[in-house]
Amino acid sequence: MRDDNHQGLEPSTNLQDGSNLRILIVHTRWNLHIVQGLVEGAKKAMIEQHRVKPDNVVIESVPGAYELPFAAKKFLEVSQIRAAEGANDLMGNVNLLGDLNLTSPTASAKPTTPSSTSSTRSKQAFDAVICIGVLIKGSTMHFEYICEAVTQGIMRVGLDSGVPVIFGVLTCLNEEQALNRAGMDEAGQGHNHGLDWGSGAVEMALLKTRSF
């Protein structure tokens, strides 16, 4: 069914050049068939419209939407520690991760070899995070509680860290609404909101480079 109330993001008049940015997408595995379409939309906008390098789009997953704020915060912190570690390695070989006894919580959990550690350390911290998930209302109050917690949590991570965190969570009354907002509806008249989230992440990440 066509959503006549759809309002997409009006593109910025300036080119938002994301070629120096590194952006994290954290997505849920709940409602994965829809979430994947949204993740692809966000990637497409960042890479094709904003010149973000494909290697600089990092994708991680969590079980459900409730886990998004925690994961965004942790991945962000680890990326900041690794970036600082890389800078310190250049100056004096200080190992912050080792000192704090932190390990990476990434889903891929690759074994740490000396070469992979040093290449990971040289990576820049994430300039923005996009949290992507799909919440579909059921017959209990669960939906309302998760929506509230996720919304507040994602906002808090952004404000506390000073790094923009995009709210890419659809909160829908049924699957049809979600498919429409992922541009996956049968009639092909929906709009993939992932595109807007990708553009929004680049624009917000670039705020710090603005002079006023």
Phi and psi at 117, nearest 5°, equal -65, -45
Query: Binding residue for ligand DLZ (CB under 6 A) from 18, 37, 46, 67?
Result: 67
Q: Is 72 in the site for ligand DLZ (CB under 6 A)?
A: no
At residue 39, the 3 state secondary structure works out as: helix
Q: How far apart are CA 10 and CA 102, in angstroms?
A: 41
Residue (26 or 52) nearer to ligand DLZ, CB: 26
Nearer to ligand DLZ, 59 or 96 (CB): 59
Closest CB to ligand DLZ among 133 and 183? 133
Nearest approach in angstroms of CB 164 to ligand DLZ is 21
* Three-class HEC string of 43-74: HHHHHHHCCCCHHHEEEEEECCHHHHHHHHHH
- With binding defined as CB under 6 A, does residue 146 bind ligand DLZ? yes
| Beta carbons within 8 Å of 8's beta carbon, 6+ residues apart | 191, 196
Q: Which of 17, 22, 19 is nearest to 123 (CA)?
A: 22
Least distance from C-beta 149 to ligand DLZ, angstroms? 9
**Residues 207 and 164 sit within 8 Å (Cβ to Cβ):** yes
The smaller minimum CB distance to ligand DLZ, of residues 72 and 134, is found at 134
Interface with ligand DLZ, residue 64, by CB under 6 A:
yes
Stretches 69-77, 107-115, 135-143, 196-204: which one binds ligand DLZ (CB under 6 A)? 135-143
Among 37, 69, 133, 183, binds ligand DLZ (CB under 6 A): 133
CB-side neighbour CA atoms (13 Å) of 181: 24
Task: Return the range that interacts with ligand DLZ (CB under 6 A); candidates 75-83, 106-114, 131-139, 152-160.
Answer: 131-139
| Maximum alpha-carbon separation in the chain | 61
| 66 forms part of the interface with ligand DLZ (CB under 6 A) | yes
Copy the structure tokens of residue 117. 């550690």
Pick between residue 60 and residue 89 the one whose CB is nearest to ligand DLZ: 60
Q: Quick check: is 27 catalytic?
A: no
Position of tokens 């929004």? 200
Chain Cα centroid distance, residue 21? 13
How many residues interact with ligand DLZ (rule CB under 6 A)?
Answer: 15
Residues taking part in catalysis: 142
Q: Which residues bind ligand DLZ (CB under 6 A)?
A: 28, 30-31, 63-67, 133-136, 138, 142, 146
